[in-house]
Every structure is written in structure tokens, then in C-alpha cells.
Structure 1
Amino acid sequence: MERWKIVRAFLLGPLIEAAVPKPGNVNRFRDFEDLTFYHFLFADTAVAGVYYEAVKTAELLKKGILEPWEAGLGELMRRAVQASREAQDANPNFGIIALSLPLMMGMAIGRNMLDARKKARLLIEESTVRDTMEFYRAIRIANPKGIPSGVKYDVYSDDSFRELFQDEINLARLAEISCERELIFCEWLNEYELSYSTFGRLYELIKELPLEDAVVRAFVELLANNLDTLIIRKAGVEEAKLVQEKAKKVLKGELTVEELDAFMREKGDLRNPGSLADIMAVSLSLLVLRGLRIELKDGKVWGVTGRP
């Protein structure tokens, strides 16, 4: 797959995700007190250089010049997060970076979009303890909300790097340990199952609805069918279940999207579904790779795939 095509897709997908007025998230109409739409614009474009380098590295892997364990996934993640942080002062895209980089590299190695899932999983499995250490450094730079303390391999503990080394914890092992706490790790392990199924749903919906409406509909379905792990970490599992129940009511026609959005903003950003927003960003990147372009029809922006 052509290098810049991959990079463009994984830059544009998160930008679309940030712009669309999805319930509970920052968007082009709504901000949070400490996170704005502009943070996403600056952060999501700041990573372009690292993304380009990641795809170049993947091409060397495909040619056999490098082995999978030499991919340097952890360092690439840390450098992308650092670039994001240098462009703005919040954490808009740590999860997007962590999801996108293995899959981008899988796109460059694999035969097609489906094969890319397996290649991304291979890179996670073949990662090294150094990759995990660099990933931990990336977390410390991003400083995401809700990271637990006092747990085994505590990100902010001075002993964590020694423990990771002693126990030989690569990214795959870390994901197995942490999947229950963060959706990103589950995606690493299950070959991006949720991202790809959401991409498939978006591909169907854009045939019936304008682009923004399709994204909102797919996102409400995500909320209705999954508990957001960021909400769980910040506010507890009961709050996450409340959001899920409200989203189900939207699908049943018992609640409007606007009412769901108002409910999710009642407590500031505690009910902000950031983990599922990351899934949506990657799913939109896949849709861009599939050929997404836009057309204006009757004053509405529609997403179209295929050649004009």
C-alpha cells in the first residue's frame, strides 16, 4: 500500500472523529474546560513525521531487512506522543497513537487491509521489553486521566522498569494483563475486531445517511454495545453502565441524541467516552483507506467511496 496513502488516512480519520458532534466528546461545536477542538487539530497533525517514519520502517520489515522485533514500536509511540505534546498542552490523542501505529505498519507489511490486522498483532507479539519501557515513557508524557496507581507494573512507580525487565513484559504480555482496564489493549490482542466491525458499519451507514449523521449513529451503537474503559477509570463502572443504558434508549427511540449528549456532559468530562472515540478515529481511518471522499448534496456533506 502506498506510503502517503496510509499516513494520510491515519491523520484524516482522527480529524473527522474530532470534528463530528458525537455525544459526550469534544467536537467542532463543544469543548471541555481543559480540552478543546484545537487541541485535537494540533495534536493529530503533529504526528505526521513519526507516522511517515513508521511506514518506512514497516517497508523494511516487509523486505526482510529488519526483523519484527526490531520494529521499535515503543519508541515510535513515545516519539509520536512527544510530538503531540510539543504542539499543545493536553492529551487528545494518546489512545489514537497507540492504536494507529501498529495498524499503520501492518498496512505497509500486509497484502491488504484484512491482512494488516494479522501483521499488527504479529508486531505486538514480537515486541520487546524495551518497547514496553518506551510505551511507559509515552504514557508518562501524555499523562492520561484515570491511570491506576499501586498496581503491578505501576506506570508512575520508580520500580516499574526493573519489574518489566525482570518479568520480560513485552507489549503483548502487557496487553494481556491490562485488557480489562483499557480497550486499546483488547484491540491489540484481538486483531482490531471492534475497529474493523465499526468500519464495516460506517461503510454501510454512509450509503443511507450524511457523513456526520452516519458517524453519530455508529458511535451511539458503540456506546450501546460496549462499556467505555475511560469512563470506568475516571468515574466507575456504574457510570459507564448508565451511559450504555442511555445509548440503548436512543437506539430504541426513547431518547434523542441531544438528550444523551446533555446527560453525558452533566459531570464535566467524567462521562467522556474517550476509549470508544479512539476506536471511532481508527475506524474512520480505515474508511479513508477504503476510498472515502465527500460530496455536497442538498447542503449536506455525504461520504462516498470509490472513484468519482
Structure 2
Amino acid sequence: MPAASTFLQTMRTPAQNAELALLLEVAGTPKPGNVDRKRDLPDLRFEHFLAGAVGAQDGLRAAGRGDPVGSAFERSVEGMAEQRGGNTQFGALLLLTPLVRTAGDDEIEELTPEAAAATVAATTVEDAVDFYRAFDHVDVRAGDPPEDMEPLDVRRGSDAADAVRDRGLTLQELMAESSERDGVAREWTDGFEETFAVADRIADSDEPLPARAADAFLWLLARRPDTHVAKKHGASTARSVMVRAQEAREGGPDLVAAFSESLVESGINPGTTADVVAAALFVALERDGLEV
């Protein structure tokens, strides 16, 4: 893959590439079950995502200049939430923040899974506290935690700060606790495996970037069950959506359109898949210097 000298030929900063990635992700069309350039949902519209991406810029800039991951994430979520749609890109920002932090480090020559994993490994207990504070700004779907984790229920937001400090959990360790049931947390603990795999697919295509985003979304949805769908509708539904995505990819545009319609009608939105695609677009822009 190209070294840092290649992607620095672009004039965009890592924070700007992250904002562009968020914009390109929502512009990808069709994106079955989710908001895209041609589809709004009843309470969530295309412009909410555009405003969320712009609002997150202050926190993303903080990550790019080396601020702690937790505080940069909390700031980006606070800015993202300053639009009427509510939570548009919480999971995407949770992936993007350590990636932007890594890309902004002058001592790192190339944005790699190993470099991103090192950023995650360096997170602290206070990063975890700031992660909880981010939940004060938005409503995020979360299931009931295991009994021994109830004091760390993310729905408590900043009220859980003392419990986080008492347990001495870093943000990486906190993500590890959720990695089996949450795809974004799994990326944190698996060295952003899916993120970089999707980025490779995006970089290898010669289609317009929104088309690459749409292709990547359906490819990833067909690859493994979406954990947001599993939380909201159950594991069997998530597996069914994965199989139907595989069939839609094989069946062509008409079947993809029908698949998208059916997900919307059922209220199924594969949000984790969208989060990973946004992070992958950032990697492709930053690492591979994709031209726009």
C-alpha cells in the first residue's frame, strides 16, 4: 500500500478526510435499509447526516492534532448531535476517532492496522470516561448489560464515570467487553480487520466513490451479520438479512432495490455495516490518496 508520502499529496487533513468519508458514506446509493442520497427514513433524513458530518469536525480535528481519543470522540459526538435527526453517526465516529488520531501522528509513516491497534492500546481510563460522556448527547440503542456490568450500562452516560474509574477499565478494555455482540467494538479489538478489508475493496475499484460506498455496503452486509440489526431484531433476523444480501448481490440491481424496500418496510437498518464503510472510506482516502 502507498506510504504516508503518497497520501500527503492531497491537501486534505485527516479530519477533513474523515468528514468527507462520512459524506461519501451517506451518498452511497442504494444502501438497503438505511438513509442514502435517494431515500429518507420517517424521522431521519439525508440532510441530518450531512449536518452530523459537518458538526463532528471539531472533535475530528482534535483527534488529528493528537488530543486523547476519548475526549476527541466525545466532542465529535456532541457536534454531530447538533441537528434535528439525533444520532446519525455515533458508531462511525467511534471508529474514525482512533483512525484519525493515528493518521495525524507525525511519527507514523503509514496508516496500517498495526498502527491503529497501537493507538487503541494506548487508550486510558479517562478515555473510557469520556466515551460514557458521549452518551449524554445522543440516544444510542443498547441492550441490557450482563448483571455484573450493570454499573457500566452505557445508558447511564456520565453517571457511570465513577464505576468506570473504580474498575480501572481503559477504553480498549471496555470495547473488548462488548466485542462479541457489537461490530464496532469488535473492530477496536481486532485491529480494524473489516475496516481495512473494505478499504482495500474501495481502493481497488474505479467506480465513482459513492458507487464504491454502495458496493462496499452490500458486500459487507453479505459477509457477516450486522450487529445493530441483531440488537434490534434478534440474531436470526441479522443472519437472514446477511443471506438476503448475498442473494441480492447475485441477483442484480432489481433484486437489490427490492431487498432495500423490504428492509425499510420492516424497519431494519444495518447501521454497523454503514459505520464500518464510513471508516473504510476514510482509510482509502487517507492511505491510498483517492482523488475526488
- What does residue 235 of structure 1 align with? 233
- What does residue 267 of structure 1 align with? 266
Q: TM-score, normalised by structure 1?
A: 0.83
**Structure 1 residues 108 and 249, CA, compared in 2 at 3 Å: closer, same or farther?**
same
Q: Does 1:53 align with 2:62?
A: yes
Q: Distance in 2 between matches of 1:104 and 1:213?
A: 24
Q: Distance in 2 between matches of 1:228 and 1:288?
A: 24
2:136 to 140, 144, 156: 140
Q: Distance in 2 between matches of 1:87 and 1:101?
A: 20
**Structure 1 residues 128 and 260, CA, compared in 2 at 3 Å: closer, same or farther?**
same
Q: Distance in 2 between matches of 1:84 and 1:264?
A: 26
Q: Distance in 2 between matches of 1:130 and 1:212?
A: 37
- What does residue 281 of structure 1 align with? 278
Q: 1:7-86 maps to which residues of 2 (within 5 A)?
A: 7-21=15-29, 22-57=31-66, 71-86=67-82
SS at match of 1:105: helix
**Structure 1 residues 54 and 215, CA, compared in 2 at 3 Å: closer, same or farther?**
closer
Q: TM-score, normalised by structure 2?
A: 0.87
Equivalent residue letter for 2:170: N
- What does residue 293 of structure 1 align with? 291
- What does residue 121 of structure 1 align with? 117
SS at match of 1:225: coil
**Structure 1 residues 72 and 226, CA, compared in 2 at 3 Å: closer, same or farther?**
same
- What does residue 154 of structure 2 align with? 155
Q: 1:136-285 maps to which residues of 2 (within 5 A)?
A: 136-145=132-141, 147-151=142-146, 152=149, 153-157=152-156, 160-204=160-204, 206-207=205-206, 209-253=207-251, 256-268=255-267, 271-285=268-282
CA contact (8 A) 2:225 2:239 kept: yes
Equivalent residue letter for 1:197: A
Greater gyration radius = 1
CA contact (8 A) 1:43 1:88 kept: no
Gaps of 5+ in 1: 58-70, 295-308
Q: Distance in 2 between matches of 1:73 and 1:5?
A: 17
Q: Distance in 1 between matches of 2:171 and 2:273?
A: 21
**Structure 1 residues 230 and 237, CA, compared in 2 at 3 Å: closer, same or farther?**
same
CA contact (8 A) 1:13 1:281 kept: yes
CA shift, 1:230, in A, is 0.6
Q: Deviations over 1:42-95 (max 9, x none)?
A: 0101122222222122xxxxxxxxxxxxx5211111111111112444100111
Gaps of 5+ in 2: none
CA contact (8 A) 1:227 1:244 kept: yes
Q: Distance in 2 between matches of 1:5 and 1:210?
A: 21
After superposition, the CA RMSD in angstroms is 2.0
CA contact (8 A) 1:106 1:118 kept: no
CA shift, 1:189, in A, is 1.3
Of structures 1 and 2, the one with the larger relative CO (CA 8 A, separation 6+) is: 2
SS at match of 2:136: helix
SS at match of 1:293: coil
Q: Distance in 2 between matches of 1:72 and 1:203?
A: 29
**Structure 1 residues 184 and 274, CA, compared in 2 at 3 Å: closer, same or farther?**
same
Equivalent residue letter for 1:148: G
- What does residue 87 of structure 2 align with? 91
CA shift, 1:210, in A, is 4.5
- What does residue 130 of structure 1 align with? 126
Q: Distance in 2 between matches of 1:39 and 1:188?
A: 26
CA shift, 1:279, in A, is 0.7
**Structure 1 residues 266 and 292, CA, compared in 2 at 3 Å: closer, same or farther?**
same
CA contact (8 A) 1:7 1:51 kept: yes
Q: Distance in 2 between matches of 1:121 and 1:53?
A: 19
**Structure 1 residues 52 and 4, CA, compared in 2 at 3 Å: closer, same or farther?**
farther
Q: Distance in 2 between matches of 1:56 and 1:210?
A: 30
CA shift, 1:7, in A, is 1.7
**Structure 1 residues 46 and 154, CA, compared in 2 at 3 Å: closer, same or farther?**
same
CA shift, 1:215, in A, is 2.7
